[in-house]
């Protein structure tokens, strides 16, 4: 990210204000209806997994002879668990393959830890250290925060840096406060900054549980594990191996899904944890269901039988996504580069670009964009309780609209940032 810091005189700001106000009025008249809110795959991305339909051709048996149409097999079929292991980089024995949503697994895991306890570890809500707190690197994924909010778990912001969460702040928080029970992480192509945690950050995560109270959990949501935009993926260090080395593996719980690989609404989700933690989670899951949708698991295993197939499939996604992300970068650079009005991330993968306006302007930019027919993620969404303390972060999600719509929406967006910034600058400089 570059710095936001205006270095313009009053005349230059007035000129920007006048020209961007004129353009804004034109956009408003054009009655646009564009949307850069949710990180959903576009229809042509979903088409890439079209072969899922009919993949089984009447053969419902998994490789160990299981009839996938029937009840049972709470951990999922072995082929699906292998796919999860490839995504998460963990041994297959540690992986559970579930239904279509990793978010559901995350919710259930946190709820279980909070209300029921996991194995020997009692529930967070009964902990004598006090009501639980969860660390939330910000900006982060709004739905992680919703899980905590719904369960009444207090959230504590920690800053996201270009290397991942600020580990000084994270380590101090767990060391100083035994009621800190967990931390949310999106370690690769993070939502929304697109950052991949550095090797040093991952190494510090491996030893973090030693500083924390027993039963501390690292909620490692690797939703974008293979979602590279270019041919040179950013590598994420192997937390699982490092945690085994550090003797902290019970603290690490990993999640992933094929939501942005195959069908977002009909994919597979995975959870990986150490042997005792997985067994405790499975016990709780067994109260909810007799087994997952193994037919869908088998279809996925046939479509994506190995890592090569997965890589080839994701390269096709990247071909579709790359021009959209390039359009976002081009618009930001052309409209805002050198102005000091905003800084933004340049991710190598994932689904988002994170923009920081001047302090106090995110809400206003989003309002202006809405006026001109461009829907943006509500201000504050990437923060716990929907509160961006500086009111400056805006998450852009360019995957879903067609490329021309992304270009048009970005023209409007950039103009809104220019307009709001010039107005603020003029107001601050006084007349
Ligand atoms: C970081 C992150 N985790 C999880 C999800 C949702 O995953 P699933 O579709 O598997 O529930 C998303 C979707 O945007 C996400 O960005």
Instruction: Please give the number of the atom of ligand 1 that sits closest to the Cα of 190.
Output: 1
The number of domains in the chain is: 2
Burial of 371 (0-12, 13-18, 19+ CB in 10 A): middle
If you average pLDDT over residues 224-242, what whole number do you get? 94
Specify the pTM.
0.96
- Regarding whether 316 and 277 lie in a shared domain, the answer is no
- Regarding whether 319 and 300 lie in a shared domain, the answer is no
Last residue of one domain, picked from the residues 259, 278, 305? 305
Residue with the smallest CA separation from ligand 1 atom 12 is 223
- Has residue 420 been placed in a domain? yes
The CATH number for 180's domain is: 3.40.640.10
Last residue of one domain, picked from the residues 259, 288, 305? 305
Query: From the CB of 140, is ligand 1 less than 6 Å away?
Result: no
- Has residue 3 been placed in a domain? no
Query: From the CB of 193, is ligand 1 less than 6 Å away?
Result: no
- Regarding whether 186 and 71 lie in a shared domain, the answer is yes
Query: From the CB of 259, is ligand 1 less than 6 Å away?
Result: yes
Last residue of one domain, picked from the residues 259, 282, 305? 305
Query: From the CB of 39, is ligand 1 less than 6 Å away?
Result: yes
Residue with the smallest CA separation from ligand 1 atom 14 is 39
If you average pLDDT over residues 381-396, what whole number do you get? 97
Q: Which of 103, 108, 109 maximizes ligand 1 atoms within 8 Å of its Cβ, making it the mutation to test the pocket? A: 103
Interval between CA 347 and ligand 1 midpoint (Å): 17
- Regarding whether 246 and 231 lie in a shared domain, the answer is yes
Is residue 76 pLDDT above 80, yes or no? yes
Query: From the CB of 68, is ligand 1 less than 6 Å away?
Result: no
- Regarding whether 280 and 136 lie in a shared domain, the answer is yes
Return the percentage of the chain with pLDDT > 70, whole number: 98
Give the whole-angstrom CA distance, residue 284 versus residue 114.
13
- Regarding whether 195 and 95 lie in a shared domain, the answer is yes
- Has residue 372 been placed in a domain? yes
pLDDT in tens, 269-278: 999 999 999 9
Interval between CA 422 and ligand 1 midpoint (Å): 36
Give the whole-angstrom CA distance, residue 313 versus residue 376.
29
Q: Measured at the alpha carbon of residue 347, what is the angle toward residues 342 and 350, in degrees to the nearest 5?
A: 125
- Has residue 234 been placed in a domain? yes
Give the whole-angstrom CA distance, residue 41 versus residue 403.
13
pLDDT at 430: 58
Count Cα neighbours of 305 within 13 Å in the Cβ-side half-sphere: 4
Burial of 1 (0-12, 13-18, 19+ CB in 10 A): middle
pLDDT band at 428 (very low <50, low <70, confident <90, very high): confident
- Has residue 154 been placed in a domain? yes
- Regarding whether 264 and 350 lie in a shared domain, the answer is no
Give the whole-angstrom CA distance, residue 256 versus residue 106.
10
Interval between CA 145 and ligand 1 midpoint (Å): 12
- Has residue 100 been placed in a domain? yes
- Regarding whether 356 and 411 lie in a shared domain, the answer is yes
- Regarding whether 325 and 351 lie in a shared domain, the answer is yes
Is residue 72 pLDDT above 90, yes or no? yes
Give the whole-angstrom CA distance, residue 372 versus residue 23.
10
Q: Is there a contact between 38 and 260 (Cβ–Cβ < 8 Å)?
A: no
Q: For the range 243-249, what are the long-range contacts, defined as Cβ-Cβ under 8 Å and sequence gap of 24 or more?
A: 243/205, 243/206, 243/209, 245/206, 246/206, 246/207, 246/209, 246/210, 248/206, 248/207, 248/208, 248/209, 248/210, 249/274
User: Which among 426, 324, 377, 372 has a CA at the least distance from the CA of 32?
Assistant: 372
Q: Which of 80, 223, 236, 351 maximizes ligand 1 atoms within 8 Å of its Cβ, making it the mutation to test the pocket? A: 223
Average pLDDT, the chain: 96
pLDDT in tens, 13-70: 999 999 999 999 999 999 899 999 989 999 999 999 999 999 999 999 999 999 999 9
- Regarding whether 211 and 95 lie in a shared domain, the answer is yes
- Regarding whether 290 and 179 lie in a shared domain, the answer is yes
Give the whole-angstrom CA distance, residue 246 versus residue 205.
10
- Regarding whether 119 and 31 lie in a shared domain, the answer is no
pLDDT band at 418 (very low <50, low <70, confident <90, very high): very high
Interval between CA 258 and ligand 1 midpoint (Å): 9
Interval between CA 59 and ligand 1 midpoint (Å): 31
Is residue 431 pLDDT above 50, yes or no? no
Among positive and negative, which fits the CA dihedral 345, 348, 349, 351?
positive
Q: Which of 190, 191, 195, 293 maximizes ligand 1 atoms within 8 Å of its Cβ, making it the mutation to test the pocket? A: 191
Where do we find the tokens 């090569």?
A: 308
Residue with the smallest CA separation from ligand 1 atom 16 is 191
Q: Which of 143, 184, 296 maximizes ligand 1 atoms within 8 Å of its Cβ, making it the mutation to test the pocket? A: 143
Is residue 383 pLDDT above 60, yes or no? yes
Q: Which domain holds residue 65?
A: 60-305
Residue with the smallest CA separation from ligand 1 atom 13 is 39
Query: From the CB of 141, is ligand 1 less than 6 Å away?
Result: yes
- Has residue 54 been placed in a domain? no
User: Which among 419, 401, 251 has a CA at the least distance from the CA of 341?
Assistant: 419
The CATH number for 391's domain is: 3.90.1150.10
Query: From the CB of 191, is ligand 1 less than 6 Å away?
Result: yes
Interval between CA 174 and ligand 1 midpoint (Å): 26
Is residue 7 pLDDT above 80, yes or no? no
- Has residue 1 been placed in a domain? no
pLDDT band at 352 (very low <50, low <70, confident <90, very high): very high
Among positive and negative, which fits the CA dihedral 289, 291, 295, 297?
positive
């Amino acid at each position: 990210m570059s710095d936001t810091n205006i270095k313009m005189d009053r005349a230059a700001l007035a000129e920007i204000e006048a020209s961007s106000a004129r353009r804004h009025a034109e956009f408003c008249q054009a009655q646009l209806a564009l949307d850069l809110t949710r990180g959903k795959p576009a229809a042509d991305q979903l088409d890439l997994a079209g072969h899922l339909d009919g993949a089984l051709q009447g053969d419902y048996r998994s490789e160990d002879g299981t009839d996938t149409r029937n009840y049972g097999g709470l951990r999922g079929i072995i082929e699906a668990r292998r796919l999860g292991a490839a995504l998460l980089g963990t041994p297959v024995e540690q992986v559970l393959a579930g239904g279509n949503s990793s978010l559901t697994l995350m919710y259930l895991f946190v709820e279980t830890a909070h209300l029921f306890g996991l194995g020997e570890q009692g529930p967070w809500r009964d902990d004598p250290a006090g009501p639980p707190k969860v660390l939330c690197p910000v900006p982060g994924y709004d739905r992680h925060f919703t899980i905590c909010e719904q369960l009444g778990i207090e959230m504590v912001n920690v800053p996201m840096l270009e290397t991942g969460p600020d580990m000084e702040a994270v380590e101090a928080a767990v060391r100083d406060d035994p009621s800190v029970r967990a931390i949310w992480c999106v370690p690769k192509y993070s939502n929304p900054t697109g950052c991949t945690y550095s090797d040093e950050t991952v190494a510090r995560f491996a030893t973090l549980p030693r500083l924390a109270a027993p039963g501390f959990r690292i909620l490692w949501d690797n939703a974008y594990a293979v979602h590279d935009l270019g041919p040179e993926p950013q590598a994420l260090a192997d937390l699982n191996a490092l945690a085994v080395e550090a003797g902290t593996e019970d603290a690490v719980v990993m999640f992933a899904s094929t939501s942005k690989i195959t069908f977002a609404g009909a994919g597979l989700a995975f959870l990986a944890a150490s042997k005792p933690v997985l067994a405790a989670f499975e016990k709780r899951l067994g109260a909810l269901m007799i087994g997952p949708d193994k037919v869908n698991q088998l279809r996925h295993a046939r479509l994506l039988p190995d890592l090569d197939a997965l890589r080839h499939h994701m390269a096709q996604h990247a071909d579709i996504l790359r021009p959209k992300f390039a359009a976002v970068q081009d618009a930001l650079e052309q409209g805002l580069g050198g102005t000091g009005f905003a800084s933004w991330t340049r991710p190598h993968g994932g689904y988002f670009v994170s923009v920081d306006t001047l302090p106090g302007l995110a809400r206003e930019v989003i309002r202006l964009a809405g006026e001109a027919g461009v829907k943006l993620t509500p201000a504050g969404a990437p923060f716990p309780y929907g509160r961006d303390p500086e009111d400056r972060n805006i998450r852009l999600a360019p995957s879903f609209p067609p490329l021309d719509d992304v270009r048009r929406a970005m023209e409007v967006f950039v103009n809104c940032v220019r307009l709001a910034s010039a107005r603020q600058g003029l107001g601050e400089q006084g007349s």
